[in-house]
Amino acid sequence: MKHLTILIPNAQTGPNTLSCIIGTWHVFTSANEYWKKNGKRPAFNIEMAGISTHTDFVNGLLSVMPQANISSIKKTDLIVIPAIQGDFKKLHQENLLLVNWINEQYKKGSELASMCTGAYLLASTGLLDNKTCSIHWNAVNNFRGLFPKVIVKAEKLITDEQGIYTNGGGYSFLNLLIYLVEKYYDRQTAIYCSKIFQIDIDRQTQSDFAIFTGQKAHGDEVVKKAQEYIENNFYEKISMENLSQKFAVGRRNFDRRFIKATGNTPVEYLQRVKIESAKKALETTRKTISEVMYEVGYADVKAFREVFRKITGVSPLEYKNKYNKEMAFG
Residue range 269-326, pLDDT digits in tens: 999 999 999 999 998 888 999 999 999 999 999 999 999 999 998 999 999 998 887 7
> Are residues 169 and 294 both part of a single domain?
no
**Domain end among 163, 181, 209:** 209
β pairing state of 2-8 and 78-81: parallel
Same domain, 273 and 137: no
CA-to-CA distance for 301 and 298, rounded, in angstroms? 7
232 plus 199 within the same structural domain? no
Q: Is residue 216 part of a domain?
A: no
The predicted pLDDT at position 330 comes to 47
Asked whether residue 28 falls in the same domain as residue 51, the answer is yes
Domain boundary at 154, 179, 209, which? 209
Domain limits for position 283: 221-329
Residue 181 included in any domain: yes
Strands (E), 107-175: 111-114, 132-133, 151-152, 158-161, 164-167
pTM of the model: 0.72
Same domain, 52 and 182: yes
Distance, in Å, from the CA atom of 206 to the CA atom of 290, rounded to the nearest integer, reads 25
- Looking at the fold, whether 197 and 253 belong to one and the same domain comes out as no
Average pLDDT over residues 218-228: 91
Q: Is the pLDDT of residue 209 over 80?
A: no
Do 195 and 290 sit in the same domain of this protein? no
Q: For 116-141, how does the pLDDT look when each residue is reduced to its tens digit (9 = 90+)?
A: 999 999 999 999 999 999 999 888 88
What is the C-alpha separation between 129 and 144, in angstroms, rounded? 11
Are 205 and 299 contained in the same domain?
A: no
